[in-house]
A and B are shown apart, each in its own frame.
Chain A
Amino acid sequence: MRPTIPEQLDGAMRLLDLVEGDDGLSAGSAELLRNAGRLLKRVRASWEPMLPFLVEDNRAMDELLAGIAPLLPGLAADLDGSPPDPAPPDPLPPDPAAVSRRNVELRALLARAIRELPRTPAGLAARTRIGSYLLGRIEIDPT
């Protein structure tokens, strides 16, 4: 369907660029305009890669949490117990809102795991695995 969302974002950014070149703007208005432009650019850059990133990130966190769950009995009970499914049978595209919601839930579980991990060699090894995962996530996060 035209205009696509990226096309509309490109259009909005083009219009903001035109106004930004207006010499009559006050310093305050120019800064507000730049901020609005920065936000649109971020949305434009992340709009398309966001869903595949979140789907893959949820899978990676499921796997990570399942790996450290034996160290955290309380957390294990809160995980849904089902192993990550690498190939969902449903051919329908995932619901972006549900995927995003799940990502927030999994990140909350991961944060809780970090707070509760024991200070044992196994706990320290789990922290190292979490650190590696988080470093890798930053590099591919399109947002």
Chain B
Amino acid sequence: MTAVTAAGRVGTMDGDVAPAGLVDRLRAFLAAHLDGVQPRIVDLGRIGVGRSRENWVFDLVTAPGATPEREPLILRRDPDGGLVETDRGAEFALLSALERSDLPAPVARWLDADGAWLGRPSLVMRRAPGDCDYRVLNGERPLAERAVLAGRFCDLLARVHLTDWRGLGIGELLPDPGAGAALAELRGWEEILRRDQLEEYPELELAIDRLRETAPASARTVLVHADFKPGNILLEGDRVTALLDWELAHLGDPLEDLGWVTQPLRAGEHTIAGTWESADLLRHYERVTGFEVDRTSLAWWVTFSTFKTAVMQVSGLRSFLEGRSDEPYRPTRGVLRTLLAAVTERSG
């Protein structure tokens, strides 16, 4: 429950404090979208402290008739600084388009694109039941149950890639890079690096050099989630209730998501040693989608995934040093070592 403190800020369920005025701003924002119905905000609480976006869960209570209606919602508010800067308007439009698909994407309710209402660009979505556990495949559940979940996650990724993006009008929202998806993504992340780097990184320069020289042509264009991981999958028991975090989604090569989920740095999230290795995941994916995965092209995307991680760390470092973020990110030894090992191998 919320409670106003002496400082006029609002205490929340887990003891964290809502920024001054957020509740009032949120109430005004919601009222503007409810045709004069006065909203009540109940059980406001922040989840996922200190990460890229502020996530505030709450229930919206309205009483247009005799019986109050209660809707569970989540407010996702841009931080002052995060790992990646993305466009809330584009995300809102994509989520709205996906409501016509069978994907378990969150229902987007309202958008504050420029932060005029809520101080920073924000998105209000309906809250689905369940929990995210980024280590669920290597957690406490019995092995057989985890193996079933791993297959279910792969099925979900396949469903994303099999989405009829043209039929849903997503081609009008997002550009189709065609066969040049790899180079387009590399260019995009290089631009982020140039914008955010505070000094030169010869390690990343060598990676760009090699990736540019060896970029594969894309065999097909699909909807790419671009941050597919158990930590973004809501589970209620063993049922997937939602796939979250569509902020990086775009049209591109399906191997991009496959490279992300099979990269060695994330093996602990996506694979189960001895039971569900990367090779099992790829075979399952090929069987479900009917797409053949070119292993040489996939190796490029795996390396690209590590490069992307390094760039995110560079951006995170800048955010931290400029006081926009509380997470002391930096390009880590593990990421740089993995990246350089891959690019020097590719050049050999």
Interface of A is mostly: helix
A-B contact pairs, 25 of them (CB 8 A): A26-B16, A27-B14, A27-B16, A27-B49, A28-B46, A28-B49, A28-B50, A31-B49, A31-B326, A35-B327, A35-B328, A107-B199, A110-B202, A111-B200, A114-B205, A114-B206, A119-B213, A127-B210, A130-B202, A131-B206, A131-B340, A135-B344, A138-B333, A138-B337, A141-B333
The CA-CA distance from A134 to B326 in the complex, in Å, is 29
The CA-CA distance from A57 to B213 in the complex, in Å, is 28
A32 and B202 within 8 A (CB): no
Residues of A within 8 A of B175 (CB): none
Q: Give the 9 A-B residue pairs with the shortest CB-CB distance, closest first.
A: A26-B15, A111-B200, A131-B344, A108-B200, A111-B205, A114-B205, A110-B202, A28-B49, A31-B50
Residues of B within 8 A of A14 (CB): none
The CA-CA distance from A26 to B17 in the complex, in Å, is 9
Cβ contacts A84-119/B at 8 Å (1 or 0 each): 000000000000000000001001101110110101
Interface residue tally on B, bucketed by range: 20 to 34
The verdict on B347 contacting chain A, using a C-beta distance below 8 Å, is yes
B347 and A124 within 8 A (CB): yes
The verdict on B201 contacting chain A, using a C-beta distance below 8 Å, is yes
B340 and A135 within 8 A (CB): yes
| A68 CB, nearest partner CB in chain B, Å | 12
Cβ contacts A114-143/B at 8 Å (1 or 0 each): 110101000010011011101100110100
- Chain B 172-216 residues near chain A, CB threshold 8 A: 199-203, 205-206, 209-210, 213
A130 and B341 within 8 A (CB): no
B199 and A108 within 8 A (CB): yes
The CA-CA distance from A7 to B229 in the complex, in Å, is 42
Chain A residue with minimal CB distance to B51?
A31
| A71 CB, nearest partner CB in chain B, Å | 14
| B256 CB, nearest partner CB in chain A, Å | 24
| B55 CB, nearest partner CB in chain A, Å | 13
B347 and A27 within 8 A (CB): no
Kindly identify which residue among A38, A114, A138 contacts B328, using a CB–CB cutoff of 8 Å.
A38
The verdict on B156 contacting chain A, using a C-beta distance below 8 Å, is no
A130 and B206 within 8 A (CB): yes
- Chain B 290-348 residues near chain A, CB threshold 8 A: 326-328, 333, 336-337, 340-341, 343-344, 347-348
Residues of A within 8 A of B333 (CB): 138, 141
Residues of A within 8 A of B200 (CB): 104, 107-108, 110-112
| A129 CB, nearest partner CB in chain B, Å | 10
Residues of A within 8 A of B213 (CB): 119
Residues of A within 8 A of B344 (CB): 128, 131-132, 135
| A126 CB, nearest partner CB in chain B, Å | 11
Residues of B within 8 A of A39 (CB): 328
| B213 CB, nearest partner CB in chain A, Å | 8
- Chain A 17-70 residues near chain B, CB threshold 8 A: 26-28, 31-32, 35, 38-39
Residues of B within 8 A of A131 (CB): 206, 340, 343-344, 347
| A41 CB, nearest partner CB in chain B, Å | 11
| B16 CB, nearest partner CB in chain A, Å | 5
B206 and A27 within 8 A (CB): no
| B50 CB, nearest partner CB in chain A, Å | 5
